[in-house]
Each structure stands twice: as structure tokens, then as C-alpha cells.
Amino acid sequence: MKKLLSLIVVCILVLSLAACSGQETPPPANTEEPAKEGTEEPAVEAPKTPQDLVMGTGSSGGTYFALGGAMSNAMNKMMEEQLITVTAQASGASVENINLINAGEMDLGMAMNNVAANAFAGTGAFNAPVSNVSSIGVVYNEVYQIVANAKTGAKNVEDLKGLTVAVGPAGSGTVGLTEKVLAAAGLDIDKDIKRQSDSFGDAATKMQDGHIDAACNVLAVPASSIIEMSTVMDLAYVDISDEILATIQADEPYFVRKVIPAGTYKDQAEDNNTITCKAAMYCRADLDEETVYQITKAMYETGDVVAAAHATGKEIQLEGALEGITTPIHPGAARYYQEMGIEVPDNK
């Protein structure tokens, strides 16, 4: 009887285990909400790669040098989220900046628009047309200013004959323009004057020390180096005649008349008749479109900030940004202008 009861219990246990093994473990509850029909997961933006760019300016004492530093500081603050940093670097100015950009040794740089035109044509200071340079836009109006020690009695360009003259920093557009101005007046830069190649700051010091008689400058008005000279010595402000201007315009029409009003500088009793062109920003043609778009945007939207540090900043205006630009415009800059409703010429 006991054996029979034990057998019954064993059978019951076996049947119970068999029943349990036939049941599946329920899956874990899904706590996520089902995606709504027609929606996609938001795309995750790829992390930006920091870019450290170099911008060529000019020599100490010149507008490019001081203005470039103020511009890079203002632009960098605006481009923080894009991780783009621009470092202003002293240079020989226009010609050197264009050459270094073209060689890929510099990313950005300021230059006179006539120098850029020569670079694309492979004329003047350039032995062959550049291939890796694009325009961004106008920065400000360049003004050619010749000042002389008043003791020389110089009033016109022809009066510079026989004098020791700082013709502009080596590698600058000032040197090329001085050569054109002298030639239009019938003077040879190597034979009819004693030429010196000094930075604008050094030329100002040499003028005050009596080591040179005159200095040629392409600077904004008023120019700090000329103000410096005028505070310690009497200056003569040399005029450029209509005949000289007409001769220059025959080959380079982007030069126009500029009158510096009397009283702009200390003891400047009369208007100074001179000439002007445009200073513009240029960049490597192979810089990507988005980078140049951000640079162009930052350049034209920080003018007020720049002006607080350098008076010329007030001239960095979107209106007129393409006036005098006769060289190819970078697609990134063109994109910004188009967004701002500015017509971009097809000058590729």
C-alpha cells in the first residue's frame, strides 16, 4: 500500500514538471513609446573640426597691421561656435599677401584691388597669373598719401626729384603705385630719387630724425604714422595732378580722385589732392565654401565692433562690398551676398 502511494506521488510530480516546462517566459515589457508614423530619428550633427587660419596684414605703422588685428579679434568671437580662428600676421602687405595665399602658405590677406588685378593678369609684380586666390570683398578705401619735410619745399610729385624717399615697404602695393605715380610725372624710381624701403612706422621715425626727405603711404585717412610725424615736424602734403591721375587711369581705371580736406592733419592749410583705390580681402580659392561663408558673414557683421578698436572699421560695410572687385569671387562669399540680396557678378 505504501509503495502504491509513493508511486502516485512521483507520477503527480512528474506531470507537474512537464506542465511547467511547456510554458514560455514572457518577454520584458517595452517601456519605449513606438515611433510615430512618418517621423525619423533626428540626425546627429558631426563634430566640427577646428580651423586655425592665418590672415596677412601689413607692416607696423600701417592700416593693414592695426586693422587686421582688430578684425581678427572681432571675427573670432563671432565664429566661436564654428570653431574657426583667424590669426592676423604682419607681412609686406598686398603683393606678398597675394603670393603667400597663392602658394598656400597663408589663408587670407588684404591687398589693394589693383594689385589683385595684376596678380590675376600676371603683370606688374607678378610673373604669371595666380591660380589659388579668390576675392571675398572690399574692406575700406585706400588713400595714397605723399608727405615731405616742409623744408624741402615739395608741393608736387615732380618736386621729389633728387630727394631721399621711402617708397613703401618691400612686398607692398605702395611700392608699385609709387613707381606708377613717379613714371606718370616723368621720374624714374631708381634714377631720379634715392629710394628707401621702410615700413610705414620706420619711415615716420626716419622722417623725424632727418634721415629721409619724404614718405609714400597707402593708408586710411587719417593715418597714424602721418599724425605721428605732424606732431613733431612741419610737413608738406604733396599733390597728385590731374595729368598724373589720367595717365594712371588709362591702364588702371580703378584709381580715382581723392581730396583730403584741409585740417585733416596738423597744420594742413589746404586740401590735398591725391588718389584712392580699394583695399579688399582675399583668400585661398581652395578653402571650402562653408568656411569662407562664415568668414564673409563675420567680416561684414562685426564692423561696429572693429570700429571701436580702429576707426577704419566703420568703412567695413556690406553696401559697396563688391565695388572695385574685378577678380573672381569665392563661392562661399557669393553665397553670403546672395542671401543678403546683393547681385554677384559672374566673373569666374
Give the CATH number of the domain where residue 184 resides. Answer: 3.40.190.10
At residue 127, does pLDDT exceed 50? yes
Q: Is residue 347 part of a domain?
A: no
Sequence-separated (6 or more) residues with CB below 8 Å from residue 36: none
State the average pLDDT over residues 143-163: 97
> What is the reported pTM?
0.81
45 or 194: which leads in pLDDT:
194
Q: What is the pLDDT of residue 302?
A: 97
At residue 337, does pLDDT exceed 90? yes
Q: Is residue 217 part of a domain?
A: yes
Q: Is residue 24 part of a domain?
A: no
Q: Over the stretch 12-64, which tens digit does the pLDDT of each residue have?
A: 443 443 444 444 444 444 444 444 455 555 554 555 789 999 999 999 889 99
Q: Is residue 344 part of a domain?
A: no
At residue 322, does pLDDT exceed 80? yes
State the average pLDDT over residues 233-257: 96
At residue 7, does pLDDT exceed 70? no
Q: Over the stretch 69-115, which tens digit does the pLDDT of each residue have?
A: 999 999 999 999 999 999 999 999 999 999 999 999 999 999 999 99
Q: What is the pLDDT of residue 23?
A: 44
Closest CA to 341 of 313, 312, 319, 323: 319
% of the chain with per-residue pLDDT over 90: 80
Q: What is the pLDDT of residue 15?
A: 41
Q: Is residue 310 part of a domain?
A: yes
Neighbours of 19 (CB within 10 A): 9
Q: Over the stretch 104-117, which tens digit does the pLDDT of each residue have?
A: 999 999 999 999 99
State the average pLDDT over residues 164-179: 93
Question: Predicted confidence band at 10 (pLDDT cuts at 50, 70, 90)?
Answer: very low
DSSP class of 159 = G
237 or 170: which leads in pLDDT:
237
Q: What is the pLDDT of residue 47?
A: 59
**Strand partners of residue 145:** 217
Q: What is the pLDDT of residue 347?
A: 62
Sequence-separated (6 or more) residues with CB below 8 Å from residue 274: 143, 144, 145, 146, 239, 240, 257, 258, 259, 260
Q: What is the pLDDT of residue 348?
A: 54
User: How many domains would you assign to the chain?
Assistant: 1
At residue 9, does pLDDT exceed 80? no
State the average pLDDT over residues 174-203: 96
Beta pairing, strands 133-149 & 164-166: unpaired
DSSP class of 171 = T
Q: Over the stretch 277-288, which tens digit does the pLDDT of each residue have?
A: 999 999 999 999
Which range marks the domain in which residue 168 is found? Answer: 51-339
Q: Is residue 96 part of a domain?
A: yes
Q: List own/partner pairs for 42-49 with CB under 8 A and 24 or more apart.
A: 48/82, 48/83, 49/83
Q: Is residue 254 part of a domain?
A: yes
Q: Is residue 136 part of a domain?
A: yes
> What average pLDDT does the structure give for the chain?
89
State the average pLDDT over residues 307-329: 95
327 or 19: which leads in pLDDT:
327
The beta-strand segments (E) located in the chain are 51-56, 84-89, 108-112, 133-149, 164-166, 194-196, 214-219, 235-238, 256-260, 272-284
Q: What is the pLDDT of residue 326?
A: 84
At residue 180, does pLDDT exceed 70? yes
